[in-house]
């Protein structure tokens, strides 16, 4: 398929939005201005951006505990997200969900999830609804390599295949299940081997290259929309920061050298080089995009800090639809 200049620029903007927001969130967390856990997506931007750029607006996604990137790549709002990270009432979840439960149903983003693998069965449900109502949409589940060791993933993959649902499985293989390397948690090198066991096709994709992810996703979803059943992509990627927060102390689960080596393949740098080499953008216009988005990020911090916390009486609101909690 033809990768137009427009697509290249769109992919870049999506990645920059994720990167700059996340770097800011990381700084805020380090200076104790964000409560709770923060799982940063930095390093993996090409995956969410490449996949979401290929989707229709109302195609559903489910996400992981590392979910800011997925929502931002799908067009999420900085203000509402930053406010949610601070627990403010103006946040995506009125301050009741926080980082691990970011969602935007208007963008068909069915939630980040604090339970590893748990979003995948929910994605099956969305795919089932698509099939039953014949709405032409597909559902996409993002999950990590670690999630494929969980029963929920297996149940969901098998069910999606058995019911031939319009669903794309996107494995973000960042080589670590929290702080444990892949080779210690599974006996296979490529997660994609598991797809064959469920009877659906899959492909390995360079998850540090947004164009590769976009192309693979576009090919897959064309087949899925055609009624060919679920498919899986394994995007080989890498997490630049720790499982939680930015950089842990006294942690030797991986070496600084390894991280530095992977940073040479930074998906933003890969893409900037491509933009410049192909003459789509010059360094100056790239910087202009970054400056503009950074300004939006700064404004979101201001918006969030100036937003009110929830009222204490909001505690019992929305436990149930149409009713009070007992």
Our CB check for other proteins shows the closer of 72 and 127 to be: 127
Residues in CB range of 56: below 8 A, 6 or more apart? 137
* Residue 95 in contact with other proteins, rule: CB under 8 A: yes
Q: Can you tell me the distance from the alpha carbon of 141 to that of 303, in angstroms, rounded to the nearest whole number? A: 31
Q: Which range of residues in 47-55, 86-94, 266-274, 283-291 is near other proteins by CB under 8 A?
A: 86-94
Q: Collapsing DSSP states into helix, strand and coil, what is residue 14? A: helix
Chain residues 19-78 in contact with other proteins, contact rule CB under 8 A: 60, 62
Sign for the pseudo-dihedral over CA of 168, 64, 263, 8: positive
* Residue 279 in contact with other proteins, rule: CB under 8 A: no
Element (H, E) at 235: strand 231-236
Sign for the pseudo-dihedral over CA of 145, 147, 152, 156: negative
* Residue 147 in contact with other proteins, rule: CB under 8 A: no
Q: Can you tell me the distance from the alpha carbon of 122 to that of 152, in angstroms, rounded to the nearest whole number? A: 10
* Residue 96 in contact with other proteins, rule: CB under 8 A: yes
Size of the site for other proteins (CB under 8 A): 50
Residue 204: both structure tokens together: 């390995």
The one among 28, 54, 124, 235 contacting other proteins by CB under 8 A: 124
As measured in angstroms, the least distance from the Cβ of 71 to other proteins is 12
The CB-side HSE value for 106 (13 A sphere, CA atoms) comes to: 5
Our CB check for other proteins shows the closer of 100 and 216 to be: 100
* Residue 94 in contact with other proteins, rule: CB under 8 A: yes
Our CB check for other proteins shows the closer of 225 and 265 to be: 225
Our CB check for other proteins shows the closer of 179 and 320 to be: 320
* Residue 155 in contact with other proteins, rule: CB under 8 A: yes
List b or e across 194-224, with b for residues whose CB sees 16 or more CB atoms inside 10 angstroms. Answer: bbeebebebebbbbbbbbbbbbbbbebbeeb
Our CB check for other proteins shows the closer of 55 and 120 to be: 120
* Residue 156 in contact with other proteins, rule: CB under 8 A: yes
As measured in angstroms, the least distance from the Cβ of 175 to other proteins is 25
Residue 297: both structure tokens together: 């990020």
Would you tell me which residues interact with other proteins (CB under 8 A)? Answer: 60, 62, 91-97, 101, 103, 105, 110-111, 113-115, 118, 120-133, 139, 151-152, 155-156, 158-159, 162-163, 317-323, 325-326
């Amino acid at each position: 398929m033809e990768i137009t200049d427009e697509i290249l620029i769109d992919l870049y903007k999506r990645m920059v939005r994720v990167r700059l927001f996340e770097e800011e969130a990381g700084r805020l967390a380090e200076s104790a201005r964000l409560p709770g856990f923060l799982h940063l997506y930095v390093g993996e931007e090409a995956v969410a951006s490449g996949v979401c750029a290929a989707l229709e607006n109302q195609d559903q996604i489910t996400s992981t505990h590392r979910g800011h990137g997925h929502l931002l790549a799908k067009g999420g709002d900085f203000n509402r997200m930053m406010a949610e990270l601070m627990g403010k009432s103006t946040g995506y979840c009125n301050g009741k969900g926080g980082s691990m439960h970011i969602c935007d149903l208007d963008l068909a983003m069915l939630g980040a999830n604090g339970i590893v693998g748990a979003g995948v069965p929910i994605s099956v449900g969305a795919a089932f609804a698509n099939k039953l109502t014949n709405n032409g949409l597909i559902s996409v589940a993002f999950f990590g390599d670690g999630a494929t060791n969980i029963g929920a993933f297996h149940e969901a993959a098998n069910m999606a295949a058995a019911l031939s649902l319009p669903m794309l499985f996107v494995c973000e293989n960042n080589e670590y299940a929290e702080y444990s390397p892949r080779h210690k948690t599974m006996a296979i090198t490529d997660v994609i081997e598991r797809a064959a066991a469920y009877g659906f096709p899959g492909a390995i994709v360079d998850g540090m290259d947004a164009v590769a992810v976009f192309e693979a996703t576009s090919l897959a979803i064309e087949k899925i929309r055609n009624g060919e059943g679920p498919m899986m992509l394994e995007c080989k990627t890498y997490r630049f920061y720790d499982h939680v927060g930015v950089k842990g102390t006294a942690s030797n689960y991986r070496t600084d050298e390894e991280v530095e080596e992977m940073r040479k393949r930074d998906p933003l740098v890969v893409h900037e080089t491509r933009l410049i080499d192909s003459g789509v953008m010059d360094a100056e216009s790239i910087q202009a995009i970054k400056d503009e988005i950074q300004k939006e990020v700064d404004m979101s911090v201001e918006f969030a800090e100036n937003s009110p916390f929830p009222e204490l009486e909001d505690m019992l609101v929305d436990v149930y639809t149409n009713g009070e909690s007992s």
